[in-house]
Amino acid sequence: MAPVPKSPGGEPIWPNGVLGSLAHDYRVAVAAVGSSEDLEGVGIDVEPAENLSADLLQLVTTSRERARIDSDPYQGRLFFVAKEAAYKAVYPLDHVLLDHHDIEVDLANQQAIVRNGRIVELRFCISSHLVALAFILS
Ligand SMILES: CC(C)(COP(=O)(O)OP(=O)(O)OC[C@H]1O[C@@H](n2cnc3c(N)ncnc32)[C@H](O)[C@@H]1OP(=O)(O)O)[C@@H](O)C(=O)NCCC(=O)NCCS
């Protein structure tokens, strides 16, 4: 066992050779952990499986994403969870604070593109909650 302290930027500090990400709400906690031999970055997020409000939808999604909102049965929530997971995957690499509009999510291709050009792979799990896993392979 080893402690996983938190950096000033908020991301967990994993033992050498390990990459991971954490997320929690009041009911559910999730973690993704892998080897730095396989992964350059990994992020995870969890959200209730509920539609996003109209206000939040505007805040979180770009106009291009809203044009494809039909691909999200949760009307924006999948975009939200994907962006937070992607942010957690790239922050430890770039140390740049990102806005939701700095990440463009393509649900059909399960990818997110960050404004600096990084491409992050996405996978989803949907049950009582939506879980997004974001990763960049080595
Ligand atoms: C990182 C962030 C997205 C976490 O979201 P949250 O809904 O508050 O909380 P979650 O349960 O999903 O995740 C919390 C965990 O994320 C991890 N985390 C926090 N900051 C992180 C960062 N900069 N990079 C990677 N992981 C981070 C920590 O392990 C944290 O666990 P802890 O609270 O037990 O220490 C949010 O706090 C944040 O820093 N936002 C600023 C940037 C932003 O939101 N941009 C819009 C999305 S692109």
Ligand 1 centre to CA of 21 (Å) is 9
Whether the CB of 10 sits within 6 Å of ligand 1: yes
Most informative mutation of 7, 87, 105 for ligand 1 (most atoms within 8 A of CB): 87
| Residue 68 backbone phi and psi in degrees, to 5 | -110, 25
**Residue-level pLDDT at 26:** 87
Burial zone of 112 (CB within 10 Å; 0-12 exposed, 13-18 middle, 19+ buried): buried
The domain made up of 19-137 is a member of CATH 3.40.50.1100? no
For 98, other C-beta atoms within 10 Å of its C-beta total: 16
Whether the CB of 48 sits within 6 Å of ligand 1: no
What is the distance between the alpha carbons of residues 92 and 90, in angstroms, rounded to a whole number? 6
**Residue-level pLDDT at 2:** 79
Ligand 1 centre to CA of 51 (Å) is 21
Whether the CB of 129 sits within 6 Å of ligand 1: no
**Residue-level pLDDT at 133:** 98
Q: How far is CA 81 from the centre of its chain?
A: 6
| Residue 24 backbone phi and psi in degrees, to 5 | -155, 150
**Residue-level pLDDT at 60:** 97
- Give residue limits of the domains in the chain: 19-137
**Residue-level pLDDT at 103:** 98
Q: Which atom of ligand 1 is nearest to the CA of 46?
A: 12
pTM for the predicted model, two decimal places? 0.97
Q: Compute the 3-state secondary structure of the chain and give helix, strand, coil in percent, each to the nearest 5.
A: 25, 35, 35
Q: What is the pLDDT of residues 102-120, one digit of tens each?
A: 999 999 999 999 999 999 9
Taking 50 as the pLDDT cut, the residues of the chain under it are none
